[in-house]
Structure 1
Amino acid sequence: MGAEFDRVEAALRSDPLFLGEETLVFQVEDVYALEDEGQGILLKRYGTAARTAHQMLLFEARVSELALSAQYMAAAARALPGLKARAYSLLDLPLGALWGRLRAEAEQQWI
């Protein structure tokens, strides 16, 4: 509230995280009105792979931070019974383990 848009935009564009990347900054009237919309990300990456130009990866997600956290915690809890005792991160688990007893049904839906 009360921030000057030009100063905020300059600060974001000069952040090392965004240097060299296309960064769009939008001014909104009321940021609190957007909070119910959840969080979002749009990742667009251009490149060349094996001499084939014009490759593009596009990833977009809109999520509720609280709901997504709860879903990951529940998925991790479902995966526990099938794992050996040790420390894991979500990236260590096979995706199917996150479905627990619903794994077979979920796999059938993707075939």
Structure 2
Amino acid sequence: DYVPSTEDLGHLKARRTEPQLQLTQSESELARVQSLLDDILLQQETVKKYVDAHRALMSPMRRIPAETLAEILVCCLPDDQLPVRDLAEAPLLFTTVSREWRRTAIATPALWDSLH
């Protein structure tokens, strides 16, 4: 059970000063780098949203005529059961995909003829 003397305490404090300063500097540097990383991540998310929006605009699905899309949607109705009022199933599911699909689905009476 060593008890440091007053002289030893002085030496210990002196030896601790430089590492303590290094620790403070590294914490400050980490905070600066974290702030920089946060800024870069925010910028990346903004650019990603921009790219995704433009990718969606270029989607081949946007070039399908509404009449063709309507035929496709009718073909996607389940054969083995009558359509039900459930957003997770056709035909209501079609109205949740995009505005264009919603307009087309609502304007296609064959999708709603047997809904119960």
Instruction: Tell me which interval the TM-score lies in, with the shorter structure as reference length.
Output: under 0.3
Which structure ranks higher in relative contact order (CA pairs < 8 Å, sequence separation ≥ 6)? 2
Q: Higher helix fraction: Structure 1 or Structure 2?
A: 2
Of Structure 1 and Structure 2, which has the larger fraction of its residues in strand?
1
Structure (1 or 2) with the larger CA radius of gyration: 2
